Amino acid sequence: MATYKFSSKDSIQSTPVANIFIDTYMPVANATFVKVYLYGLRQCFSDKKEVENTQIAKDLSILESDVINAWHYWESVGVVKLNRNDSKASGDFEIKFVDLINMQQPKPEQKSRMIFDKRPNYTSEEISIYIEQNENIRYMFNFAQERLGKLLSSNDIKTLYEFYDWLRLPVEVIIMLIEYCTSIHKRNMKYIESVAVNWADLEINTIEKAEQHIKQLEYKHSMLYKIKKCFGIENRALSDKEKNYINTWIDKMRFDIELIDYAKNLTIDQTGNLPIDYVNSILESWYKQGIRTLQGAQKDVTQRKENVKNKYNKTASKPANASKNKFINFTQRQYDFEELERLAQQKKFNTLK
């Protein structure tokens, strides 16, 4: 259980939030992560300096794992520094918030074009001239019209030309972008525009980069579909907690569906239901152990059961009241097969008596 000590500042009656946080970091961050950031920033300007994860989670009505994920996220984007204090017990960290108010502002090319770059204003006459003079641009509009299955409006034409002139995406990349969006049945120009801005920010400006990015997106889309089917999630959107867990399994852990399905079935066998927190705890344990295959996971479970069996054989002769059941707190998401197996064996033993 981590305890965070927030960087000390004078206690005041208000908490200053930098405009760059609101303009740059907040729009692209998970809403829960924003809550954790603001909560921590508030602690920097209060008399109470040390706060545990459990208290943060309780105050914000979120999961403790969400608190941990939030701090790791904010550290990854550079707005906080998470320093472990080796002089204290394991699990103690000091949070230092970066002074965003006085920080040197990044250059425009380092920011999202959608938020910071001034969008050009083209007239219909200007675009018509460009279309007449540039055969590639003319082909791009014809391709878009064919794939979208409609006549392009003046706003559609203006938006597509912005991809080329404002976002500086090559025509061949724009064509691949349109092909990808229509292949996943996304023909709304606002959606296509958001994808174009994202590609520009990621500097996806060649055919090779576009192909690699699309391959990654298709892999993630396929895995997301398989995982939702595996968990019986149909006709509803994923919750923020489910999204965070599943994105971690796909993007960070890179587990295949067989391993995730095995963890799911293991959770049902051990708990009688399907808490996604417990599934995640199993997968986290395997990830930390370097287990990446179904065979490795099965070997791990077999070994754990064997360890429990050996412990049970040593304690089976004790009186029934010699051992009391422990409360298994699933909100802490501990990977505790041994305790579950011991409880099951103890229950059987008491029944026989």
DSSP readout, 20-86?
HIIIIIGGGS-HHHHHHHHHHHHHHTSS--EEEHHHHHHHHTS-HHHHHHHHHHHHHTTSEEEEE-T
pLDDT tens-place string over residues 14-54 = 788 888 888 888 887 888 889 999 998 888 877 666 888 88
56's tokens: 């943060």
Same domain for 346 and 257, yes or no, is: yes
Q: How far apart are the first and last CA of the chain?
A: 39
Same domain for 48 and 9, yes or no, is: yes
Residue 309 lies in a domain: yes
CA distance 19 to 80: 16
Residues of the chain with pLDDT under 70: 1-13, 47-49, 84-92, 103-118, 312, 314-353
Question: Model pTM?
Answer: 0.53
pLDDT of 338 reads: 60
Same domain for 137 and 190, yes or no, is: yes
Full domain range(s) for residue 67:
3-105
Residue 283 lies in a domain: yes
Alpha-carbon distance values, 270 to 21, 283, 306, 340, 344 (Å): 44, 15, 16, 7, 9
Same domain for 268 and 353, yes or no, is: yes
What's the structural domain count of the chain?
3
Choosing from 148, 180, 205, the residue where a domain stops is 205
Choosing from 146, 178, 205, the residue where a domain stops is 205
87's tokens: 């002089």
Residue 81 lies in a domain: yes
pLDDT of 324 reads: 47
- Pairing state between β 3-6 and 50-52: antiparallel
pLDDT of 5 reads: 62
CA distance 311 to 306: 9
pLDDT tens-place string over residues 105-159 = 544 344 455 544 567 777 888 888 888 888 999 999 999 999 999 999 999 999 9
pLDDT of 187 reads: 94
Alpha-carbon distance values, 169 to 120, 129, 131 (Å): 15, 19, 16
Looking up residue 54, the CATH number of its domain turns out to be 1.10.10.10
Residue 214 lies in a domain: no
Choosing from 183, 205, 227, the residue where a domain stops is 205
